[in-house]
Amino acid sequence: MQSKLCHRRTAFARTICAVATILIGAVATSVAASTAGAIVVAQADEPTGQGTLNTIDTKARKLNITHGPIAALNWPGMTMNFGVAPGIDLGSLKPGSKISFTLNRGVDGVYVIDAIRTDE
Ligand SMILES: [Cu+2]
């Protein structure tokens, strides 16, 4: 839970993250419930990238993408492969498309695409 909140970029969000970490660990249920609302909001602020979809491996569920810088992760632009979360339909994607995507960090620490859309 708190890792998503910690992905937020602003100093304010990082402060909230630190406070939430303390509260979730130590304080009563009523306080934890109030911090839960902030965490739900933070999910809309996952790391986001934009780029060009180069290739689609439907079987392995991997996309090769040339993406621009991803500021939230301090990543420069690069060409790389991404895994895709279960439930994302790859059938409507086409090589060469301009795309936007969001990333979610799995339990193994590797970022996978958990949302993707084609840009006009
Ligand atoms: Cu990359």
Residues 59, 31, single domain; the answer is: no
Neighbours of 110 (CB within 10 A): 10
Residues 29 and 61 in one domain: no
Do 23 and 73 fall into the same domain?
A: no
Tens digit of pLDDT for each residue in 48-90? 999 999 999 999 999 999 999 999 999 999 999 999 999 999 9
0.75 surpassed by pTM: no
Cα separation, 49 vs 99, in Å, equals 8
Q: How far is the CA of 88 from the centre of ligand 1 (A)?
A: 20
Same domain, 55 and 41: no
Same domain, 31 and 71: no
Instruction: Give distance in angstroms: CA of 25 to centre of ligand 1.
Output: 33
Domain shared by 86 and 113, yes or no:
yes
pLDDT tops 50 at residue 4: no
57 and 112 fall within a common domain: yes
Q: For the chain, how many structural domains are there in total? A: 2
Domain residues for 64?
A: 48-118
